[in-house]
Amino acid sequence: MTKSLRIGIAGLGTVGVGTLEVLSAHAEMFAKKVPRPLNVKAVAARDHARDRGVDLDGYEWFDNAVDMAFCDHLDIVVELIGGSDGIARELTEAALANGKHVVTANKALIATHGTSLANMAEEAGVNLAFEAAVAGGVPIIKALREGLIANRIDRVYGILNGTCNYILSDMEQSGRDFLDVLDEAQALGYAEADPSFDIDGIDAAHKLAILASVAFGTVVDFDGVHVEGIRHISPIDIEFARELGFGIKLLGVAARTADGFEQRVHPCMVPESAPINHVSGVFNGIAVDGNFVDTTIYEGRGAGAGPTASAVVADILDIACGNPVPVFGIPARNLKPAQTVDMGRHRGAYYVRLTVVDEPGVFAEIAAILRDHEVSMESVLQRGRAPGEPVSVVMTLHESLEVDVVNTLDAMASLDTVVEAPRMIRMETFA
């Protein structure tokens, strides 16, 4: 008789409960697909008395999830607690050290400690799987690590946070202010009570650091990710973007350059014709550029119990099949330094919005600053006139080094006729 794969699930929030539901609902189907029966033996959570809507009778209960790592009758630990350190890290390290496979949905843990955990897993001869850590139910890790293995990956980019995408999509459709839409997103459960992790780009940055490592075979370098959020995006920027033929999305972009690897998360102006611009609401969308496959695109629900649990269970099934895939696609000992390029060396086109006093000579001063910093203007837009009053002026800039653009905007901000800090949004040219 084939030995079952004995599973312990740590964390019984929405994803943990969802994982139990998927394993139960499709038990018969899984029995036909994998050589080892799946057997959930234990669960761990802080509150034993809480009603989670599923029957937990028959499972061994652990008040301290870390104790699972030392349990002789478990083969695999599913870590769904969250957080880069604390119990989640302690459990994962202890489980790997004791020869247990680990499946996790914890992007903060992998983004922060992924390289060291990969070394531990491979030294112990066990799997560390994290498909659910990036883009929920979208199988982007498997696509990069296995489906596109024949390619040199040159760029990975996309919408990695559903909360931000919902907010920006609604602002585009309704014309409402950021704070109004954020309040609605919180009421609908799309944003947390403290939304900073999402709207300030940290969540997307965790995911991008993981994608970059898998795509480029580099050590995970979360600290090297340039991060900006969406708090400063206003309806007027969205209106000007539309006039220019663009939409605004919070994107994560990881790309090879002549100088090294870019890793950046920030709002982007994306051409209306680009497929990624049409990913709306809470959905995630990721594009991958490979040298033989060209561009492939992946879209789906990036969060929620069902999609995330689907990815968790997919990893469990891979382990049940005995698939010995290196954690980041290549052996951890072969991961090379990230060589992350400083954002000042980024070269691209830019949208700049100035609020200036409408009086003669303003454009002459602005043009002189552009000339002095060797930055070239492509176009300029101004709506209406209000002599002596502040008006919005938008410029688009030809490809320039970011350090030159930043210095240019600093010089503009010092003008008496510029009444608020210039707003800059990078412009992308995805096909």
Q: Any idea which residues carry the catalytic annotation?
A: 207
Cα 290 to Cα 153: distance, rounded to the nearest angstrom: 4
SS3 content of the chain, % helix, strand, coil (to 5): 40, 25, 35
DSSP class per residue in 12-24: -SHHHHHHHHHHH
Q: Of 50, 121, 130, nearest to 308 (Cα)?
A: 130
Q: Is the separation of the CB atoms in 249 and 289 below 8 Å? A: no
Which amino acid type is present at position 192? E
Cα 14 to Cα 106: distance, rounded to the nearest angstrom: 14
HSE of 341 in the Cβ direction (CA atoms, 13 Å)? Answer: 21
Q: Is the separation of the CB atoms in 7 and 76 below 8 Å? A: yes
Cα 361 to Cα 371: distance, rounded to the nearest angstrom: 15
Cα 133 to Cα 116: distance, rounded to the nearest angstrom: 17
- Alpha helices, DSSP H only, in 271-354? 305-320
